[in-house]
C-alpha cells in the first residue's frame, strides 16, 4: 500500500511547493514514483534528514524497529523536530511505549503519532483511505498535509488511539468476511447462483464495503493477496488484548480469532481474506 499512498502524497506535496523523499527494501517498489519526481535515498537515515514528517507503512512494530535503529536507521538521521507517523496495525501499548522511548532518546525531537489505515489497495490508489490517528493535536496538524493526501484522517485521541480504532475495525472486517465465507458456501451447496446472491445482499442490510470490494473474489475464487489473511491473527490478538484491558466481554471476537488462527494453520494465511470461502469449503463435519 505504501507505493500508491506515496504517489498521492507526492502530488499533494508538489501542489504545496514541497517534495517527497522515499526509501524501500527494494527500489523496484517505488520506481514509478521516483520517475514521477520523488527523491530516492537508500537509507532511512537519509529520509529522516530530508523530512519533517515521515510515514512508515510496515506490517508491525518489529518491522518498524528494524528501520529505526542502527547507523543507517531513521533515528540516526534526526537533526530537527520530526513527526513519525506509524501506519502499521500494531499493539496500542506497543505504540505508546515506542512514542515515549523515542521522545526520550531524541530529547523530544521525534513525536510519534499512530495512523493505521483501512480501505485496502483500492483505497490507497484512490487516496480514499480511512486513517485512524492517535497523538497530540499539534503533531496531527503538522502531519495533516501528508495524511490528507492519502485519505481521510481523523484524530481520535492520544497516542495509541488509532491502533484501538484499527483493532475495532479489524474485528468487524474479520467477522464480516468470515460470515460471507460461510454464507456463500451454504448458498452454493444449496444450488444458488452465488453472484446473484451477493448482488442482492449488497442492496440490503448485509451490504458492506467488504462485500463491495470482495464480491468478485468470492465468486471467482480469486484469492491472490490484497490483504493477507494471516495478518488478521495479529490484528485480532491486539483487539483481544484491548478487550481484556478495558474489561470487555467479547465472545464474537474470541470466536472469530480462533477461526482465523485455524485458517492460517490450515495453510490459507498467505492468501486474501476472501479465502474464508475456501477455508469453510475445506472443513469437514465431525
Q: Is 166 a catalytic residue?
A: yes
- Given strand 129-133, what is the order of strands in its sheet? 117-118, 129-133, 151-155
d(C-alpha 78, C-alpha 88), whole Å: 21
Among 203, 206, 200, 197, which Cα is nearest to 177's? Answer: 206
d(C-alpha 264, C-alpha 278), whole Å: 12
Catalytic pick among 66, 154, 166, 234: 166
d(C-alpha 55, C-alpha 57), whole Å: 6
Give 54's strand partners.
Answer: 84
**Which cell numbers hold the place of 196?**
446473484
**What torsion do the CA atoms of 150, 44, 83, 14 make, to the nearest 10 degrees?**
-50
User: What are the angstrom distances between the C-alpha of 27 and each of 12, 22, 124?
Assistant: 22, 9, 19
Going through the chain in order, the beta strands assigned E by DSSP cover: 21-22, 39-40, 53-56, 82-86, 110-114, 117-118, 129-133, 151-155
Which positions are annotated as active-site residues? 166
Amino acid at each position: 500500500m505504501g507505493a500508491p499512498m506515496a504517489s498521492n502524497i507526492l502530488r499533494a506535496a508538489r501542489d504545496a511547493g514541497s517534495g517527497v523523499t522515499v526509501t524501500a527494501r527494494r527500489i523496484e517498489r517505488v520506481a514509478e514514483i521516483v520517475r514521477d519526481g520523488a527523491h530516492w535515498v537508500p537509507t532511512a537515515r537519509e529520509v529522516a534528514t530530508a523530512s519533517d514528517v515521515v510515514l512508515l507503512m510496515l506490517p508491525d512494530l518489529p518491522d518498524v524497529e528494524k528501520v529505526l535503529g542502527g547507523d543507517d536507521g531513521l533515528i540516526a538521521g534526526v537533526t530537527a523536530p520530526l513527526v513519525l507517523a506509524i501506519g502499521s496495525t500494531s499493539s496500542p501499548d506497543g505504540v505508546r511505549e515506542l512514542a515515549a522511548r523515542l521522545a526520550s532518546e531524541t530529547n523530544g525531537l521525534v513525536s510519534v503519532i499512530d495512523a493505521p489505515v483501512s480501505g485496502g489497495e483500492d483505497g490507497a490508489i484512490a487516496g480514499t483511505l480511512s486513517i485512524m490517528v492517535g497523538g497530540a493535536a499539534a503533531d496531527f496538524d503538522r502531519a495533516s498535509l501528508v495524511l490528507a493526501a492519502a485519505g481521510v484522517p481523523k484524530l481520535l485521541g492520544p497516542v495509541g488511539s488509532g491502533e484501538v480504532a484499527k483493532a475495532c475495525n479489524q474485528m468487524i472486517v474479520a467477522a464480516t468476511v468470515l460470515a460471507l465465507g460461510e454464507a456463500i458456501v451454504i448458498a452454493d451447496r444449496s444450488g444458488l447462483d452465488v453472484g446473484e446472491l451477493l448482488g442482492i445482499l449488497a442492496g440490503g442490510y448485509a451490504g458492506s464495503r467488504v462485500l463491495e470490494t470482495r464480491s468478485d473474489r468470492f465468486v471467482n475464487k480469486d484469492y491472490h493477496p490484497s490483504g493477507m489473511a494471516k495478518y488478521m491473527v495479529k490484528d485480532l490478538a491486539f483487539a483481544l488484548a484491548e478487550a481484556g484491558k478495558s474489561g470487555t466481554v467479547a465472545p464474537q471476537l474470541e470466536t472469530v480469532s480462533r477461526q482465523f488462527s485455524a485458517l492460517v494453520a490450515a495453510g490459507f494465511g498467505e492468501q486474501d481474506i476472501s479465502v474464508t470461502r475456501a477455508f469453510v469449503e475445506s472443513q469437514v463435519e465431525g
